Each structure stands twice: as C-alpha cells, then as structure tokens.
Chain A
Amino acid sequence: MTVHNIYIFDRNGNCLFYNEWNRKKQAGISKEEEFKLMYGVLFSIRSFVSKMSPLDMKDGFLSFQTSKYRLHYLETPSGLKLVLNTDLSVNSARETLQHIYSNVRTRLQPRTSTE
C-alpha cells in the first residue's frame, strides 16, 4: 500500500497544501502549473460525472484509476478539496481523507478566515 502524494485546495482553487512521499515521476511542469492542472481536472471531472449520471447522485465524483495509480477525492461542505494519489491496492481512501480533513481543519482555521 503506497501513498504517492496529497493536494489540498480551497474553494477558489488555491493549493493550500501539497506533500509527496513516493513519487517516481515528476510532471515536467512547475508546481504552480501542476496545481492549476489538478484543480482543472477535478473541476472538469466533477462536472462531467454529474452531467453523465443517469441517476441522482449522492456523493458525486469519488475517485478514478489508471493502470498505475488511483486518485481519491473528497470535497467538504466548505468547498475544501482533498486529493490523495495511491497505488491500486487502496480501494477507498474516503475515510482517510475525512480523517485528514477533521484534523487539518482545526489547524488551518486560525490562519484562514474562510469557514
């Protein structure tokens, strides 16, 4: 079970936090561009998933996978977006992300005025 990296975005698209543990390949673009790309991908996929859904959606976009990694996504009611990239052995990191969120929030709150 490998966790590659994590991104946390606020509701405006700014990357509040990024950390990598086990990344074998870099993107080839600057970090700033990579964050914008990641946010753009999330935005597009969420929109796509909601449009393509033949049923009413409960949670919306949860994760996607490639042949090499799985990207897990959690969006909080305040618009905070957490992204975790793991290997394929992790089926759902939703609880993990929720746990991170409940810990991160208490630390970020004094610094940001967004509730």
Chain B
Amino acid sequence: MAIFSVYVVNKAGGLIYQYDNYVPRSEVEKTFSYPLDLVLKHHDEKVIVSFGQRDGIKGIKFIVLADPRQSGIDALLKKIYEIYSDFALKNPFYSLEMPIRCELFDQNLKSALEVAEKAGNFGAGS
C-alpha cells in the first residue's frame, strides 16, 4: 500500500481522526526492496474568511504517511481538507475539535486515497 496512514490533529494537539492502511509485519526480509524512507507531509490549516474568523476552524493539521515514490500528496492533502470541511460544515452533529466519527468522511476519504494511489504510484505520475 503506497499510502500508509492519515491522521487529523486538532488545535489542541489531540488526535481526532486516524486511518491506518498497512499490514504491520513482524518478520521482515531486509533484502526486499522496501521504500527507503517515508515522506512525511505536514499541512497546517487556517481558514480565515474576509469578515473575520470562521468558527475557529484553524490550527487543524492533516498528516499523511506515504511511500516516497507516491506523488500527488499535496493534492491529496488538499482533497482531504475539502472532505473535512464538507463534512464539518454539513454535519450538524459534529462539533469542532472533537473526534471525527462520520461514515461519509470515512467513505470519501477512502475513495480519495484509492484515487491518489492509482494515479500517483508510477513514480513520475501518469
């Protein structure tokens, strides 16, 4: 799997969403051609509407752990932010900074990950 994990961290530093997509292997053959190292991208989000601050949606951090060969992570991060803001805006039962427990968010996130993996995993991108 080229995209290993997705985490969302709130303003206070608490983990509000986690999605893991790897099989932890206890016995590993070192001679396999594993990806060398992880590319850790950190995206610090602030949303400021021109009239002022919007519901305090700022300081949300999206973290994606992926294979270094995977391209298009910046676009993926933006996509995740879109899915998050769609979800946070449209779901009346979700309060900000709280753990995210919504099926729609999960579903959309997983499909966005699939799209990104398919599109980006040729090294140079297709």
B residues less than 8 Å from A60 (CB atoms): 37
Within 8 A of A (CB), among B63-79: 65
Interface string of B21-58 (1 = CB under 8 A from A): 01011001010001111101000000000000000000
Contact across chains for B28 and A53 when beta carbons are under 8 A apart: no
CB of A47, distance to nearest CB on chain B (Å): 13
* Residues on A with beta carbons closer than 8 Å to the beta carbon of B20: 54
Which of B4, B22, B34 touches A56 (beta carbons < 8 Å)? B34
Question: Is B108 engaged at the interface, CB distance under 8 Å to the other chain?
Answer: no
Contacts A54-B4, A54-B65; is A59 near B36 (CB within 8 Å)?
A: yes
Q: Are A58 and B38 in contact (CB under 8 A)?
A: no
B121 CB–A CB distance under 8 Å: no
Residues of B within 8 A of A55 (CB): 22, 25, 28, 34-35, 38
The verdict on B5 contacting chain A, using a C-beta distance below 8 Å, is: yes
**A18 in contact (CB, < 8 A):** no
Determine if A6 is an interface residue (Cβ-Cβ < 8 Å). Answer: no
A40 and B4 CA atoms in complex are apart in Å by 27
User: Are the CB atoms of A58 and B34 closer together than 8 Å?
Assistant: yes
Closest-by-CB residue of B relative to A64 is B40
A interface, CB within 8 angstroms of B:
49, 52-62, 64
List the 10 shortest-distance A-B pairs measured between CB atoms, nearest first.
A54-B22, A54-B4, A58-B36, A56-B28, A62-B37, A59-B37, A55-B34, A53-B38, A59-B36, A52-B65
